[in-house]
Amino acid sequence: MIYADNAATTAMSEAAIARMTEVMRQTYGNPSSLYSIGQEAKEVLEQARADIASVIGANPNEIIFTSGGSEADNQAITSAARFGAKKGKKHIISSAFEHHAVLHTLNKLKEEGFEITLLDVHEDGLIRPEEVEAAIREDTCLVTIMYANNEIGTIQPIRKIGEICKTKGVTFHTDAVQAMAHIPVNVDDDNIGMLSASAHKFHGPKGVGFLYVRKGVPVFNLIEGGAQERGKRAGTENVAGIAAMAEALKEATTDMSEKMTSVAAKRDKLIQGLTEIPHSALNGDAAHRLPGNVNFCFEGIEGESLLLLLDDKGIQASSGSACTSGSLDPSHVLLAIGRVHDVAHGSLRLSISEDTTDEDVKTIISSVGEVVEYLRSFSPIWRDLTTGKKQFIL
């Protein structure tokens, strides 16, 4: 089996599994209890907080543990909106291809009277900092731009955008779910005010993540209850999950540049190999790209059937076709970079990891080629394209 859907989720690392089971067995106390096993759990929790903070250049008390990236996004955006509204600031800037955890939260705020500006992401899938600057107004309370896109892997000019927001005095949040532990992220260097991350995207467990909130940036809690997380997130902490997240993060960020180079080399081989399939195109900029992300469109075929046949060949990947999204529209990300519907339905995302071998890369290239050719052999669109009834787009 070749698992090439690491942007969806990753396999937990052995170290993270070991840490998680160790904590589950030995440190089952409630961190809010004052007796010894409770305080041991508290220690595990605070060590994890310190470890995570150290990786991203934050102070431990700037980390709030959450159930994952979506909760962190919701909390960051809703907080900035509520506090902005108190000062009469009800304008938020974001981009057209954010994750739905961001876009759907913004839609809800729009219904409540907020004004949302969604910036163009251009054909290369990159936001222009000058367009962020131009969009900022007196009443802007938040800029929220993802660190790297989850479908096409394009890495945004976060440092520059953060600098602009800092100068203008506007809170800057970034959804770093795809970037965290895959490329260097430092909240000070990158001028980040709030940041969301999720453990299962970097070989940690599912159902756990964190929100970084810079000291001085106000946040309120989404979940009412006890005083956990300094009153910012009620509910008994997922101690084992949090400890495993810290373990996974430390592991993934050790020798990161070597890992990045090695994964990116395989990514580039994949891109090179798949480009040779006629009438195909890479989605998103090739240079400003996550080391593990490959995303292609193949004209004349539909993504779900591509995925099912690749699965039969032991390759797990994903697609932005309508059939895989459960709606009639293909991926909003592919539409945002200007791909037309016909082409966007035929997309394939391969997200590889350190575990992907050179042999896997070769197998993927040949298998994708075979499946695309097979599906085209009985595609009425492909017939129209090859007989000149329709013009090729790619």
Partner 1 sequence: MALYSEKVMEHFRNPRNVGVIEDADGVGEVGNAKCGDIMKMYLKINDDEIIEDVKFETFGCGSAIASSSMATELIKGKPVSEAMKLTNAAVAEALDGLPDYKMHCSVLAEEAIKSALDDYYSRK
Tokens of 193: 């005010």
Cα 119–Cα 336–Cα 83 angle in degrees, nearest 5: 35
Q: Is 165 a catalytic residue?
A: no
Confirm if 291 and 263 have CB atoms less than 8 A apart: yes
Q: Taking the complex as a whole, how short is the minimal distance between the CB of residue 378 and partner 1, in angstroms?
A: 5
Q: Taking the complex as a whole, how short is the minimal distance between the CB of residue 385 and partner 1, in angstroms?
A: 11
φ and ψ at residue 197, rounded to 5 degrees: -145, 160
Which candidate, 196, 231, 208, 234, places its Cα nearest to that of 78? Answer: 196
Instruction: Identify which of residues 265 and 308 has a Cβ nearer to partner 1 in the complex.
Output: 308
Tokens of 380: 């009425």
Length of the chain equals 394
Q: Taking the complex as a whole, how short is the minimal distance between the CB of residue 302 and partner 1, in angstroms?
A: 5
Which candidate, 37, 106, 101, 26, places its Cα nearest to that of 71? Answer: 101
Classify strands 91-95 and 140-144 as parallel, antiparallel or unpaired: parallel
Q: Taking the complex as a whole, how short is the minimal distance between the CB of residue 95 and partner 1, in angstroms?
A: 24
Confirm if 139 and 89 have CB atoms less than 8 A apart: yes
φ and ψ at residue 210, rounded to 5 degrees: -150, 160
Q: Taking the complex as a whole, how short is the minimal distance between the CB of residue 381 and partner 1, in angstroms?
A: 5
Instruction: Identify which of residues 35 and 378 has a Cβ nearer to partner 1 in the complex.
Output: 378
Neighbours of 36 (CB within 10 A): 9
d(CA 177, CA 202): 9
Amino acid at 311: D
Instruction: Identify which of residues 210 and 382 has a Cβ nearer to partner 1 in the complex.
Output: 382
Classify strands 140-144 and 115-119 as parallel, antiparallel or unpaired: unpaired
Given the residues 141, 165, 297, 323, the one annotated as active site: 323
Instruction: Identify which of residues 191 and 295 has a Cβ nearer to partner 1 in the complex.
Output: 295
Q: Taking the complex as a whole, how short is the minimal distance between the CB of residue 114 and partner 1, in angstroms?
A: 31
Confirm if 194 and 218 have CB atoms less than 8 A apart: no
Residue environment code for 181-217, b if the CB has 16+ CB neighbours within 10 A, otherwise e:
bbbebebeebbbbbbbbbbbbbbbbeebbbbbbbeeb
Q: Which residues lie near partner 1 (CB under 8 A)? A: 300-305, 308-309, 312, 321-323, 326, 328, 330, 341-342, 345, 377-383
Would you name the residues annotated as active-site residues?
323
